[in-house]
Amino acid sequence: MQRPLRITLLTLVLAALIWYGHSANPAVTLRDCLADPGRYEGRRITLATEVTVVQTWPDSLIVHQAGLKVKVIGPPGDARPGEYVSLIARFRSPGRLELEALHPARGRRAKIVWSILPLLLLAFFWLAAYRFDCRRFYWEERQRCRTS
């Protein structure tokens, strides 16, 4: 198979998978619940992606996810405002959650910051080892790196 055809085919398949992952995902999100509270009354949902604590009280907390804020009824444990958390809760209309389980993701910010270092190192060594041939549109080894 020719290279342009392979690139086109792979790109189309990847695009289709992204579309399918978005449209067919059975998980119910907080946005789904708030958009149609009656339909999702009592539904168990997981909030795990980029969820931060806004405020805490001894028996409840407010969390933020993707521009949405929601009150969660249940003890926040040792989660503090500003921290990342993941939680499982039941949705109660019109717009609150009953907490079932909560995990403070302490160290997530440090994880994100540390994770930049390997990417910078990879970029540095990559550019030292390869150069991009703009005419043929591929990376080729710089001569001094070749071992065969």
Residues in contact with other proteins by CB under 8 A are 3, 6-7, 10-11, 13-14, 17-18, 20-22, 24-27, 29, 46, 48-50, 65-67, 84, 86-88, 101-103, 105-108, 110-112, 114-115, 117-119, 121-122, 125-126, 129-130, 133, 137-141, 146-148
Q: Helix (H, G, I), strand (E, B), or coil: what is residue 102?
A: strand
Q: How far is the CB of 63 from other proteins (least distance, A)?
A: 13
State the Cα–Cα distance between residues 98 and 74, nearest whole angstrom: 6
Residue number, 10 or 39, with CB nearest to other proteins: 10
Q: How far is the CB of 68 from other proteins (least distance, A)?
A: 10
**One-letter amino acid of 59:** D
Q: How far is the CB of 66 from other proteins (least distance, A)?
A: 4
Residue number, 56 or 89, with CB nearest to other proteins: 89
DSSP H helices in the chain: 3-23, 30-35, 108-129
Residue number, 57 or 126, with CB nearest to other proteins: 126
**DSSP classification of residue 146:** -
Q: b/e string for 122-148 if b means 16 or more Cβ within 10 A?
A: eeeeeeeeeeeeeeeeeeeeeeeeeee
**One-letter amino acid of 129:** A
Q: How far is the CB of 130 from other proteins (least distance, A)?
A: 8
Q: How far is the CB of 56 from other proteins (least distance, A)?
A: 18
Contact between residue 108 and residue 79 where contact means Cβ atoms under 8 Å apart: no
